[in-house]
Amino acid sequence: GESVGLHLPTLSVQEGDNSIINCAYSNSASDYFIWYKQESGKGPQFIIDIRSNMDKRQGQRVTVLLNKTVKHLSLQIAATQPGDSAVYFCAENTGGFKTIFGAGTRLFVKA
Amino acid sequence: GAGVSQSPSNKVTEKGKDVELRCDPISGHTALYWYRQSLGQGLEFLIYFQGNSAPDKSGLPSDRFSAERTGGSVSTLTIQRTQQEDSAVYLCASSLGPGMQYEQYFGPGTRLTVT
């Protein structure tokens, strides 16, 4: 498959290190946030979500942190693996069906 | 089980031609979304279908864009008189129901190139 974005911010990490991907969201009324992973040639895939009444949520090897004061969201990936190489999007929702997606960050994992 | 499928995977067309992009959602999913993804950009919402309700077309960029969903299942996105700025990946997603509590499952997308 082809790249979905050639001019995205890029994060390069060594295999086994932790990765932190950051996102600034736009709407202070947003109350639900999602991180998606998009591999080359595929559609985005849900990773983890968090509601605005929380500031941290953990999944398997992933943690999402939410700072509503500065409208900042981060995704932490522990012990990054080559299979984690992808474009990562944050998304926000104010309720209802419409989800607003960020531009994405490309993660490269060096073996 | 089968996920969301889209066809064609790639489409190259000449400026001014019409194109149709197809989406087959996951069986039983009542909500269907179309998004556009340009190079270096996030996903741009285009249109949303929920059950038999009138679709939300608020994201369609111009009247050259239209979409329909037949029988609450397959959806077609039509772009008339294509322009070079229409070149992008068009993604379809479906979910079990409306609203943010239902996870959206995405198809692989159709890459449209307008020459």
* Most A-contacting residue of B26, B43, B87, B96 (CB-CB within 10 A), to test interface: B43
Residue B72 CB contacts under 8 Å (≥ 6 apart), including other chains: B30, B51, B52
* Most A-contacting residue of B39, B48, B100 (CB-CB within 10 A), to test interface: B100
Please, which pLDDT band fits residue A7 given cuts at 50, 70 and 90?
low
Instruction: Tell me the torsion sign for CA atoms B52, B89, B59, B78.
Output: negative
- Phi–psi pair at B70, nearest 5 degrees: -95, 135
Q: Which residues of chain A have a CB within 8 Å of the CB of B31? A: 97
pLDDT at residue A106 tops 50: yes
Tell me whether B48 touches chain A (CB under 8 Å).
yes
Of A5, A11, A33, give the one whose Cα is nearest residue A101. Answer: A33
Average pLDDT over residues B79-94: 97
Q: At B113, is the secondary structure helix, strand, or coil? A: strand
Structure tokens at B60: 């369609």
Q: Chain B: nearest CA to A58, how far in angstroms?
A: 18
Average pLDDT over residues A11-37: 94
For the stretch B13-56, pLDDT in tens is: 999 999 999 999 999 999 999 999 988 778 999 999 998 888 99
For the stretch A37-58, pLDDT in tens is: 999 989 999 999 999 999 999 9
Alpha-carbon torsion angle B66, B69, B75, B79, nearest 10: -10
pLDDT at residue A25 tops 50: yes
pLDDT at residue A5 tops 50: no
Please, which pLDDT band fits residue A3 given cuts at 50, 70 and 90?
very low
- pLDDT value at residue B70: 86
Please, which pLDDT band fits residue A2 given cuts at 50, 70 and 90?
very low
Average pLDDT over residues B64-86: 95
User: Of the candidates B33, B89, B104, which has its C-beta nearest A4's C-beta?
Assistant: B89
Check residue B97 and report its DSSP letter: S
Tell me whether A83 touches chain B (CB under 8 Å).
no
Please, which pLDDT band fits residue A6 given cuts at 50, 70 and 90?
very low
